[in-house]
Structure 1
Amino acid sequence: MRIDYDGRRFQALHGGDGTCAEYRQRGDLVWAVFEGGHVRRGTITGTCDDEGVLRLAYTMVLHTGEVIAGHSTNTPQRLGGRLVLREVWQRYGEHAATGVSYLEEIPAPEPAGAPR
């Protein structure tokens, strides 16, 4: 599944805590900034293979001031016509944990003043 992630926005499946990321892509290089919910600011950087699988490193600062770092492998899937990423992640250090999350693509916000 060849995917261009440039300009796509993702959040946790069913909205999660409101954290949203907007992805950028140039060739196989992918990166994003995310914030919302418990996250003051976060970044991801990694690569995308020919199947659309993302291999990413991430860091984030929570509203509590905690700094979290880790890596993930995100595999694209189609769910009811939507693009969903199955994210297998691992956190490092004092926040060490592993898990699986699902991220769903969300539409870009409408520009201010756009007709409805």
Structure 2
Amino acid sequence: MTLNYDGKRFHPVEDSSADPSRVAVYHQDGDLLWGEFLGGKARRGALTGTVNADGTLEFAYCMVNEDGDVISGHCASTPHLLDDGRVRLEEVWERYGAHESSGVSVIEELPAEIPAQTVRTGS
């Protein structure tokens, strides 16, 4: 599956409802992937990793949550194409350190017509 994640915006899938206040924006250059996310309990987060030839993702992430805790971890994501052409990612994640945890979550590409909270880069 050949996918380009550059500029794609994703949100968590919960009860089949889009929550545009929780958003991740992905960027891609060749096999290099990076992104930013915020919303929900994450005040700010970043990820960096790679895109494999089959479209799967491997990345590390770090974030600051609403309590000011700094959390880091690893994620492996498997893409699935939806009937309308958007991408759904099944994420197998693991958190390290004092916030050690693991699980599976699902995020889905936001349709272009749904505005999302702006994720600021830089400052």
Hey, what does 1:4 align to over in structure 2? 4
RMSD: 1.7
Higher strand share: 1
Q: CA deviation at 1:65?
A: 0.4
Secondary structure in structure 2 of the residue aligned to 1:94: helix
Hey, what does 2:60 align to over in structure 1? 57
Hey, what does 2:87 align to over in structure 1? 83
CA distance in 1, matches of 2:23, 2:73: 18
Scaled by the length of structure 2, what TM-score is found? 0.83
- Same amino acid, percent of matched pairs: 48
Hey, what does 2:121 align to over in structure 1? none
Can you give the 5+ residue segments of structure 1 that lack an aligned partner in the other structure?
111-116
Which amino acid in the other structure matches residue 49 of structure 2? G
1:45 aligns with 2:48: yes
CA distance in 1, matches of 2:96, 2:11: 22
CA distance in 2, matches of 1:4, 1:52: 8
Scaled by the length of structure 1, what TM-score is found? 0.87
Secondary structure in structure 2 of the residue aligned to 1:50: coil
Deviating beyond 6 angstroms after TM superposition, the runs of 4 or more aligned structure 1 residues are none
1:93 aligns with 2:102: no
Hey, what does 1:114 align to over in structure 2? none
1:23 aligns with 2:23: no
51, 72, 89: which one aligns with 1:69 = 72
Q: CA deviation at 1:83?
A: 1.2
CA distance in 2, matches of 1:103, 1:83: 9
CA distance in 1, matches of 2:66, 2:103: 22
Which amino acid in the other structure matches residue 96 of structure 2? Y
